[in-house]
Amino acid sequence: MKASISRQPLMIKMKKVLLIDPPFPERPWDINWLTQFPPKGLMYIAAYLRNAGVDVSVLDTKQMQYEKPSLLRRSIKEIEYLVKILVKESNPDVVGITSTTLSYIPATRIAKAVKEALPKAKVVIGGVHVTFTSRQTLNEYLWIDAVVRGEGERPMLGLAEGKSFAAIDGLSFRKGKEIIDNPLAKLLAPEEIPVPAYDMLDMTKYAYVVLMCTRGCPHQCVFCELPSVHGRKIRYRSVDNVSKELELALSLNPKLEIRYEDEFMGLEPERTRQILELVKGKKVGQFRAATRPDGLNDQVLKMLKAAGCTNLYIGMESGSDEVLKFNKRGITVSKILEIAKLFEKNEILFHAGFILGLPGETPQTLEQSLDVALKCCDFTFKVVKDNFDKYLEMMNFKLIVENSRAEFNLLAPNPGTEVFQNPEKMRYRIFHKNWELYDCNTSVGEPYDVSASEVEAFKKKAFRAVQDRMKEFGLPVDWWDYGYKG
């Protein structure tokens, strides 16, 4: 009888991976608040890789932009120099850098610094911006070896496993003079989405943790690219998964403010109740939330208030039914005002966001948006006035205002949006592709029926109108510093 031979499965020798979050463009105004959020997307990828046995680390260069406690700024050139030192010390085989449209140019500069420090390392860039500009990126930045398109977990694992570029779905790369776009990687199933690896960061350096409870969106807003990245089917993270994330984050920094982001709170009220029960009773800095207006109802608002939620950010976007319909927002002005009234009834603050200069915008629709915005302010400023002392004990007045006012931003049509991809159909004119100016504060285009200069002037008018409305409610406008972001 022959002895059987026990064969062990071949072990894949994993590559060492470093994930980098790039700095923001240098700005004359305060962007320090933007550095207070951990790099959420990278933390998912880091957890996914670590769970697969990869030696992975994370470098958040946003934290380098402000020297603490002085908050003196570092230039991006200085950060590039520091990155060279750090990557030489860690010596990774693969370096993955994320980017948004706003941080894309700084990300390419960080990629160059990495390549100069470690010429043999595979330098890849991913994120929502390059998902739609992979060919331009590879043509313009020769020090970038590949682009990760779509969700990054599976492609980054393929790189860590040492697979060839051609064998990794979701990757774009050069083959001679040709650029190859592999098919997108399969989206993660809900149970595959890991708990973000916050323990790989010093969470005491951050002020917020964002609970993103779903991936995917069935809506078709022409100014949003996220459904093209995460798919149009909603993938709900389990309540247990969200609970583990919250427990981990607060164990690392009990003073974190919780931001609960779920566009679909009203679709699954029992699930929403279970998630809110996780937050209820926890001693956190503050608890705020964000959702679509059509995902709200009286039941959800009552649950949010019972859990200690102090305010919600609501993307109203426009006060014109024609503009909302043309931009496929899937909501009406009457619904917006109905929801705003519910906030007053439940005495919860809300921050109403409006986008000025959307496709279909005219001077008349701008005025309609301001009218609706001021009606929203009427509801929320009344809540502030009636509970002024309570709120002032809870937070400073600047934050009260940021939690209760209407906000006006300019449209920045990122590359993955329908506006950017089909501007003629959307009756929109794009001026340039200077990505560092796609910050929602600078006009990068204009609708056919109203000029960029008119939209910019109207933004100033709208801000003054909100100030005047605050005065009408007897609120101390002179305590508020315009430009503050809470």
pLDDT at 27: 73
CA torsion 87→89→93→97, rounded to 10°? -20
On the question of pLDDT at 335 being above 70, the answer is yes
Q: Encode pLDDT of 200-210 as tens digits.
A: 999 999 999 99
Which of 69, 45, 66 lies closest to 56, judged by CA? 45
On the question of pLDDT at 158 being above 70, the answer is yes
Q: Encode pLDDT of 222-238 as tens digits.
A: 999 999 999 999 999 99
Phi-psi region of 440 (alpha: psi -120 to 50; beta: other; left: phi over 0): left
Residue 74 to residue 295: CA distance in whole angstroms: 41
The residues near 424 (Cβ < 8 Å, ≥ 6 apart) are: none
User: How many helices (H) and strands (E) are present in the chain, helices listed first?
Assistant: 16, 19
Output the CATH code of domain 17-181: 3.40.50.280
pLDDT at 30: 59
On the question of pLDDT at 391 being above 60, the answer is yes
Q: Which two tokens stand for residue 182?
A: 């592999």
Count Cβ atoms below 10 Å from residue 307 Cβ, excluding itself: 21
Strands 72-73, 94-98: pairing is unpaired
On the question of pLDDT at 2 being above 50, the answer is no
pLDDT at 8: 40
Q: Encode pLDDT of 395-443 as tens digits.
A: 889 889 988 999 999 999 999 999 999 999 999 999 999 999 999 999 9
H helices within 7-121, ranges in order? 40-51, 76-90, 104-117
Q: Would you give the DSSP letter of residue 306?
A: H
- 10 or 213: which carries more pLDDT confidence? 213
Q: Encode pLDDT of 262-317 as tens digits.
A: 989 888 899 999 999 988 867 776 899 999 988 799 999 999 999 999 899 999 99
Q: Encode pLDDT of 19-73 as tens digits.
A: 999 999 887 555 677 788 999 999 999 999 999 999 999 999 998 887 666 667 8
Where residue 116 falls among pLDDT bands split at 50, 70, 90?
A: very high
pLDDT at 68: 67
Q: Encode pLDDT of 340-386 as tens digits.
A: 999 999 999 999 999 999 999 999 999 999 999 999 999 999 999 99
Which of 384, 398, 404 lies closest to 473, judged by CA? 384
pLDDT at 433: 96
On the question of pLDDT at 189 being above 60, the answer is yes
What is the phi/psi pair of residue 353, to 5°?
-100, 130
The percent of residues above 90 in pLDDT, for the chain, comes to 82
Asked if 17-181 and 327-332+346-486 have one fold, the answer is no
The residues near 59 (Cβ < 8 Å, ≥ 6 apart) are: 18, 19, 20, 21, 83, 86
pLDDT at 402: 86
Are 122 and 145 in contact, with CB atoms under 8 Å apart? yes
Coil/strand/helix, residue 321: helix
Are 256 and 208 in contact, with CB atoms under 8 Å apart? yes
pLDDT at 282: 76
The mean pLDDT of 209-228, rounded to a whole number, is 94
Are 183 and 169 in contact, with CB atoms under 8 Å apart? yes
The mean pLDDT of 189-196, rounded to a whole number, is 97
Which of 353, 356, 345, 362 lies closest to 448, judged by CA? 362
**Residue type (1 letter), 18:** L
Residue 423 to residue 369: CA distance in whole angstroms: 22
The residues near 13 (Cβ < 8 Å, ≥ 6 apart) are: 162
In the chain, where are the structural domains located? 17-181, 327-332+346-486
On the question of pLDDT at 459 being above 50, the answer is yes
Burial of 336 (0-12, 13-18, 19+ CB in 10 A): buried
**Domain at 327-332+346-486, CATH class:** alpha beta
On the question of pLDDT at 101 being above 50, the answer is yes
| CA dihedral (149, 183, 424, 329) positive or negative | negative
pLDDT at 28: 58
Cα separations (Å) of 477 from 89, 126, 373? 51, 42, 18
